[in-house]
Amino acid sequence: MTVNIRFDPIRLPKICQDLRHEVRDFLHEEEAAGTFDRRENAMGGIFNKEFSRKVGAKGWIGMSWPKKYGGHERTFLERYVVTEEMRVANAPVRGHFTADRQSGPIILKLADEDIKADILPRIAAGECTFCIGMSEPSNGSDLFAARVKATKTDGGWLINGSKIWTSYAHLADYMIALFRTSPCTKENRRHGLTNFLVDLKNFNDIKINPVVNLRGQHEFNEVVFEDTFIPDQYVLGEIDGAWKQATSELAYERSGPERFLETSYVLFELAQVLGKQPDSRAAEGLGRLVAGLHTLRRMSVSVNGMLQAGEEPTIQGSLVKDLGTIWEQELPAKARDLATFVPPGNSNRASFDALLNYGIQVAPKLTIQGGTTEVLRGIIARGLGLR
Amino acid sequence: MNGSDNIIINTTAKILNDLCDPQTINNSNDEKWKSTLWSALEENGLTRAWVPEEFNGVGADVADGFEILRIAGQFAIPVPIAETLLAGWLLSETGLNVPDGMLSIAPVNQHDTVMLDENDTLTGTAHQIPFGRDVAQVVVLAEKSGQTFLALVNREDCILQQYDSHASEPRDTIEFNRVSPVQCAETKVTRDHLLRMGAAIRCSEMGGALQHILNIAVQYSKEREAFGRPISKFQAVQHNLAQLAGEAAAAVSAASSAADTINSGDGFNDAGFLEIASAKIRAGEAAGKGAAIGHQVHGAIGYTTEHILHRYTQRLWSWRDDFGGESVWAVALGEFVAANGADQLWPTIAAR
Ligand SMILES: Cc1cc2nc3c(=O)[nH]c(=O)nc-3n(C[C@H](O)[C@H](O)[C@H](O)COP(=O)(O)OP(=O)(O)OC[C@H]3O[C@@H](n4cnc5c(N)ncnc54)[C@H](O)[C@@H]3O)c2cc1C
């Protein structure tokens, strides 16, 4: 068997580059109006409902979904451009991004008609925030060891147990959660888990407790269920069969520009602080960083183009995420070295230092969130036929 | 770019499969394979892929030429097809005839300069000329009072000092001491163009070589046993191979993106510079990391002449140096983006 990992050199069509300018204009207007500040927002404060509504009004949420559910039937590549422009501007997209990227597509695929008709248009309007309830205190990487229990009762299910590290649960309207509906079987340890839609604002008996990150910020949470009742209608997909879902969505979720642009502000500040005539040492470092970013972006565009063409570039998606998260993680450390000889009195130094220091502290999470490097490499190894 | 229905690419793969099997070449005690291989490549027009039909070439897409080279990289090609393709491209761009046979080019770095004097003879020294001693003729880019000329010279008319690459292939120093060219004409091609084409060529070859190293490393890991099981079952080995896959993918992607840029006519503007510089940097980095992992997975057997791995890793170490190594291109790219200003950095990348 030969391993053939294809990345076609796909270019964004003109319609995408036109859209890019529209998005940039919009972002500049919003900044001018004081909705956000790209430097300040690099360091948190990325949740802004009003901003999400405006993005929804522009038609930039649920871009590829059917019009009947509030979507816009545009291409993955158009969505790609919106995502990357928002990301490099550090725009406050948290209010809608999770729903746009992950939760919406899952609902589209698995939810019943009433729920689709109710929720998808609200997501697309920027009015609905989602969070993801996968990790638990006793299991993170090993998703299939999930324990939070869903017990069948009249007309629905009773949930007991805790999810943890749930980003933005305290601000979210809904969670898509993985609960245990049956024990696993001898033949299949992945059996017995089911996806549920949880209405955080309207279901009773859910407690959301803050967990503070090392920067002192409240981003993630512990979510405790105590006999929480979930009606049958809120089951997503096959009962006990959650493991069968998600193949192409995963490539999509792993390969987006947000997988290598999270600390991009450090690169832009570095270019600023080094000035127009850096010495060879700094120029070399800057050149290598740019080469890495350009290559990642070309790979990522390629994966999204292949998805648009109906292919399932699963291994390519994982490769982009592995290389991308490592690149964005190493960026602050490299920038720190390269700017060493910029004197403290340089007029751009204080600004650079503030964002650099933030980037250094954020760096560790980049290879943990959404699946660790080790887990990702295991997936790649499987794609190579080694497992 | 789409291999399956492309005659040139299918022909390349077939010829190399038949006549350039790395294990067969590695085992052979003589160099008879070399002329057989070269004749097959030449007879099928593959050495003249970038020569237009009116110059007796094949007139293939620029992209097809790069694809030939990626496949050549998969076989650790030991003959100067890349150099001959580039020489053909230079001559055709200048409107000169392209001779048969193996060709090389000079200069291949930013330091060496060859001058054309008032008697139209060439003077100067060019280092690291690939396959210098193996070729009958060399295509030389020369300067004359601010103008650039392209000359074809007989190698026998030059003074040659032999040096070898990591792969024991010629990287000779060629001295031109009032050499009269066989053909010579003013050209619109610049040294910068030559170096960009050369860099992009090596990127395609490196991408192909890394793809093949990944293949043989994956294969070997499934066959080799240690501690009672195939080494492919050890997580540390799996993670090494996953990283090798990432490096191979990055090199191939960067190379094909650069090739695509040249193919669409943007190779020699600013967009082309970003693409080609990035590719040479990233593919060069991948060559270093990828070769290291390839060796690690193979253990001692990979560190022998019997095994074919070295045919790939030695060429990677050599190809990453040719036409400017990572550092050369990185300084230039860093200076370019810095001079454009920080505000232009993202727009420059996003435009690709
Ligand atoms: C900022 C942030 C936001 C997050 N947001 C969310 C969220 O919104 N929703 C949610 O559900 N989760 C979220 N997570 C949790 C995240 O998905 C988990 O942290 C991650 O999956 C790893 O799980 P863990 O922390 O329990 O580590 P563990 O699984 O305990 O792993 C610890 C270490 O062991 C390694 N390891 C584990 N298994 C293996 C193996 N088989 N082979 C080799 N090494 C292994 C890991 O790679 C890691 O290095 C978030 C995490 C962070 C940091």
For the entire predicted model, the pTM comes to 0.97
- The residues facing A164 across adjacent strands are A222
- The residues facing B103 across adjacent strands are B137
B245 and B157 assigned to the same domain: no
42-101 in chain A: CB under 8 A from chain B: 84-85, 88
Distance from the B327 Cα atom to the nearest Cα atom in chain A, whole angstroms: 6
Q: Does B11 touch chain A (CB under 8 A)?
A: no
B62 and B152 assigned to the same domain: no
A43: Cβ–Cβ under 8 A, 6 or more apart, which residues?
A354, A355, A358
Task: Give the number of domains in chain B.
Answer: 3
Distance from the A59 Cα atom to the nearest Cα atom in chain B, whole angstroms: 21
B103 and B145 assigned to the same domain: yes
Q: Does B244 touch chain A (CB under 8 A)?
A: no
- Which pairing describes strands A174-180 and A130-133: parallel, antiparallel, or unpaired? parallel
B195 and B300 assigned to the same domain: yes
Query: Ligand 1 pocket, A361 CB below 6 A?
Result: no
Q: Which residue of B has its CA nearest to A290?
A: B278
Per-residue pLDDT of chain B (352 residues; tens, 9 = 90+): 444 568 999 999 999 999 999 999 999 999 999 999 999 999 999 999 999 998 889 989 999 999 999 999 999 999 999 999 999 999 999 999 999 999 999 999 999 999 999 999 999 999 999 999 999 999 999 999 999 999 999 999 999 999 999 999 999 999 999 999 999 999 999 999 999 999 999 999 999 999 999 999 999 999 999 999 999 999 999 999 999 999 999 999 999 999 999 999 999 999 999 999 999 999 999 999 999 999 999 999 999 999 999 999 999 999 999 999 999 999 999 999 999 999 999 999 999 9
Q: Which CATH class is domain A255-383?
A: mainly alpha
Query: What would the CATH number be for the domain defined by A132-242?
Result: 2.40.110.10
pLDDT digits (tens, 9 = 90+) for B249-292: 999 999 999 999 999 999 999 999 999 999 999 999 999 999 99
Residues forming CATH 2.40.110.10 domain(s) in chain A: 132-242
Q: Could you confirm whether domain A14-128 is CATH 1.10.1030.10?
A: no
Residues forming CATH 1.20.140.10 domain(s) in chain A: 255-383
What distance in Å separates the CA atoms of residue A137 and residue A130, rounded to the nearest whole number? 20
The enclosing domain of B136 has a CATH number of 2.40.110.10
Q: Which residue of A has its CA nearest to B254?
A: A295
B315 and B344 assigned to the same domain: yes
Parent domain of B116: 94-189
The enclosing domain of B214 has a CATH number of 1.20.140.10
Q: Which residue of A has its CA nearest to B230?
A: A386
B283 and B153 assigned to the same domain: no
pLDDT digits (tens, 9 = 90+) for A79-93: 999 999 999 999 999
On chain B, the residues whose CB falls within 8 A of the CB of A386 are 218, 221-222, 232-233, 237-238, 241
